Structure 1
């Protein structure tokens, strides 16, 4: 059931874009788009739950009761709300939230970093679906000295038991006597895919962290802490998965 139509400048103001008066200026300047059309007339009403609104090209997330959260998952925590083996789970980190959250995809217990949680089932389904090719960025500490030719090989692609895989981007950031630090971007979500591709080229992972999904960055969020997605972050992800 659609919400009652609301004046566009009110929607912008409620989203924190600008005051109602300044929102009217944005509209008059042709900087606001609704459902693919630039709007310049005042008084237009929209359904805040379904209208696709952009300001200066940036998507404004629709009004929603759903929650979209970033967690910096600590090392050793299982990507589940319960575990029959008694291992630490995500439940301890979301118990203060009123919503019943579930994780979008997963990280292995021995992988730390950015994990999305939500109560929006369709969003979670699309984010996990391989057809949308959402980029994920990892930082890995690996055994050995990674060479430029190895980086080229990973960008070109390696063959694993369940099919080929290539890094969208790969950068060697540090090299020491017996270890290297690398940064790689992939858009696939196969089980332990980063660890397997690095092991395939002779550099087993010592430590692995996911630092970004799409335009969402882990930043300075501490292990075990969580925050809500910003409007820009959520808008970008909704665009990426066609919502």
Structure 2
């Protein structure tokens, strides 16, 4: 008598839009649009409504008639060279960062963007969901830059940059900035940002009269550029990925750090006025009877009266009018 076959474990299923995203077709929202457009089929049946599940190991999924391959998630650190764009395709035919990766690989996304002239650390992945989360300012992931700026900015300029300046998009500011060294008529500085608005660092420093001459991103969260040659890439290490996911989890409940809108300038002024009012010395009305912070006793209670107290018969006589002397 043959032994019964061991129980076959159930095949895990997942949401169709999540499966499409893991195949490198875009973010979940973009994949939902593909489904709603009726371009996706499961085992030959068109699926155009959200909420469908798929079992990747036993079902066949197609997009526009082509079979999809379930791609393993990949995460790369790229040292971006100057002159490359952070876009999938450029109408003018300029080079993009994706030209630096093998064409037969999965569809990739970059986490945030660096402008054409900026070099340095860029995370590139086929995980569309993670790409959007890491780039969102609400997660407050620090971006570390090294910049060469014209002139020699002083502490007052650094304080202005931390306080921020208003632009069309809102209020931009640096999280931190410190000098590294002076080089001729320029200065190297290290700048920490918590988001990546369009040419934010260049525009901020130009507002203070210190044009950015060179700009390199050297850190993103816990990850550093290290010795990766310019124009080359490597896969992120497991511990690096773990630290990134820890930051996302820790900051999930945090508030947004998006730039303040220009209309909030009046609110900032009102808050500053309130602080000034709160720092003024208390009026004489409030001083009377106010308790000491150390003894708990009233300040007025500790002072002795300089008037001599009159008691008994002298008190009664004191109320009488004094006798007039003889003429």
Q: Same fold (TM over 0.5)?
A: yes
Instruction: With a CA cutoff of 8 Å and minimum separation of 6, indicate the structure with the bigger relative contact order.
Output: 1
Q: Does 1:87 align with 2:94?
A: yes
Structure 2 length-normalised TM: 0.53
Please state whether the residue corresponding to 2:244 is helix, strand or coil: helix
5+ residue gaps in structure 2?
A: 1-10, 14-70, 253-327
For 1:100 and 1:160, how far apart are their aligned partners in 2? 35
Distance 1:147 1:97 in 2: 50
Q: Which has the higher strand share?
A: 1
Q: Deviations over 1:45-86 (max 9, x none)?
A: xxxxxxxxxxxxxxxxxxx92001110010011112321112
Residue 146 of structure 1 contacts residue 175 of structure 1 at CA under 8 Å; is this kept in 2? no
Instruction: Name the CA distance, whole Å, in 2 between partners of 1:166 and 1:91.
Output: 30
Do the aligned residues in 2 keep the contact of 1:215 with 1:233 (CA within 8 Å)?
yes
Q: Does 1:215 align with 2:222?
A: yes
2:317 matched to which residue of 1?
none
Question: What is the TM-score of this pair, normalised by structure 1?
Answer: 0.70
1:110-163 deviations in Å (ceiling 9; x for gaps): 111111111111101111111111110111111111112211222232333322
Query: Which of 70, 73, 78 is the matching residue for 2:77?
Result: 70
Q: Determine the structure 1 residue equivalent to 2:44.
A: none
What's the offset of the Cα at 1:2?
4.6
Query: Whole-Å Cα distance in 1 between the matches of residues 132 and 85 of structure 2?
Result: 20
State the superposition RMSD in angstroms: 1.9
1:233 is the counterpart of 2:240? yes
Larger radius of gyration: 2
Gaps of 5+ in 1: 4-63
The answer to whether the 8 Å contact 1:145/1:176 transfers is no
8 Å CA contact 1:140, 1:206 repeated in 2: yes
Check conservation: 2:78, 2:120, Cα contact below 8 A.
Answer: yes
For 2:72 and 2:210, locate their aligned partners in 1 and report how far apart those are by CA, in whole Å. Answer: 45
Between stretches 68-77 and 146-155, larger displacement belongs to 146-155
Deviations 1:158-193 (A, max 9, x none): 333322222211111112342111110011221110
Aligned residues: 183
- Are 2:105 and 1:105 equivalent residues in the alignment? no
Aligned to 1:138: 145
User: Residue 191 in 1 paired to residue 198 in 2?
Assistant: yes
Q: Are 1:164 and 2:154 counterparts?
A: no
CA–CA separation in structure 2 for the residues paired with 1:222 and 1:185: 23
